[in-house]
A = this chain, B = another copy of it.
Amino acid sequence: MREEEKQLVRRLSFFEHVPDEAVDELLKGALVQQFPSETILFHQGERPDFLHVLLEGQVGLLGVGTDGKETVVEFMNPVESFILAAVLTDAPYLMSAKVIDRARVLLLPAAPLREQVNTNARLAADMLASLAKHYRMLVRQVKDLKLRSSTQRLGCYLLALAEQSESGSSVTLPVDKRLLAARLGMTPENLSRAFSNLRPVGVRTSGQTVTIGDIEALRDLCRPDPNLED
């Protein structure tokens, strides 16, 4: 494992307070691998052998229905771990993980990690914080799905992207529109309709680029909750 990769791993919030030696110990059996787009890292229903840590690229966590229908529950960006809840409880994955954009992934063996968590209070407490963050992401999503229209969901998503972007009025969609529609809980057709509904507040798309003409009007329409959004 390269020094640069070790530095990336240390950016995981739950390794923040762990001494170097303990991290080195955990990384002993770890592998770093490159995966091309579309690679399935694991399937829903399998038991976790590793905690995956995304170092580079993008991964989607997918839900698959009993009829084979597929949706996106969440996207993972570097540096992020997935899926703690399954790995720590040694329970079958409820989601599959698929590479969306060429990914470099650290595979951290699950068994030694579980052992460390059972004996190292600091690590366990930091993992609680990380899991709590992911729990809260899902609470936000459930509220989003149940309380907002498709148009408002898209609007709030664009506003969140705009917050992170430098210009603030032009954002780049991180995934194609088919995946975005799944993440937002709508069909591609509904996503097109939602974009059309946002034209009156100056939202225009050109490929992956979205410009927001009137950000205040978009806020008024979609009413994101400044205290509770991510």
A residues sitting closer than 8 Å to B (CB atoms) are: 44-45, 63-67, 69, 71, 73, 84-86, 88-89, 91-92, 94-95, 117-122, 124-125, 127-129, 131-136, 138-143, 145-148, 182, 185, 223-225, 227-228
B residues near A138, Cβ cutoff 8 Å: 135, 138-139, 142
A186 shortest CB reach to chain B, Å: 9
CB-based contact A185/B146 at 8 Å = yes
B residues near A71, Cβ cutoff 8 Å: 143, 146-147
CB-based contact A95/B139 at 8 Å = yes
Given contacts A118-B122, A128-B128, are A227 and B45 in contact (CB under 8 A)? yes
Complex CA–CA separation, A88 to B128 (angstroms): 8
B residues near A121, Cβ cutoff 8 Å: 117-121, 124
CB-based contact B65/A143 at 8 Å = yes
B residues near A63, Cβ cutoff 8 Å: 139, 142-143, 146-147
**Which B residue sits closest to A63, measured CB to CB?**
B143
Find the residue from A65, A88, A138, A223 having the highest chain B CB count within 10 A.
A138
CB-based contact A223/B66 at 8 Å = yes
B residues near A224, Cβ cutoff 8 Å: 66
Complex partner residue of A141 from B122, B134, B142, B148, CB under 8 angstroms: B142
Excluding A92-B227, A142-B145, 15 further A-B contacts by CB distance (< 8 Å) are A45-B227, A63-B143, A65-B225, A73-B139, A73-B142, A88-B128, A94-B143, A94-B228, A117-B121, A117-B124, A121-B124, A131-B131, A135-B135, A145-B145, A145-B185
**Which B residue sits closest to A73, measured CB to CB?**
B142
Complex CA–CA separation, A123 to B34 (angstroms): 37
B residues near A92, Cβ cutoff 8 Å: 227-228
* Cross-chain pairs A/B with CB under 8 angstroms, 20 sampled: A45-B228, A63-B146, A64-B147, A65-B223, A66-B224, A71-B143, A71-B147, A73-B142, A85-B135, A88-B129, A89-B129, A92-B228, A118-B122, A119-B121, A121-B124, A124-B124, A128-B128, A131-B132, A134-B135, A142-B145
Given contacts A117-B125, A121-B121, A143-B94, are A89 and B228 in contact (CB under 8 A)? no
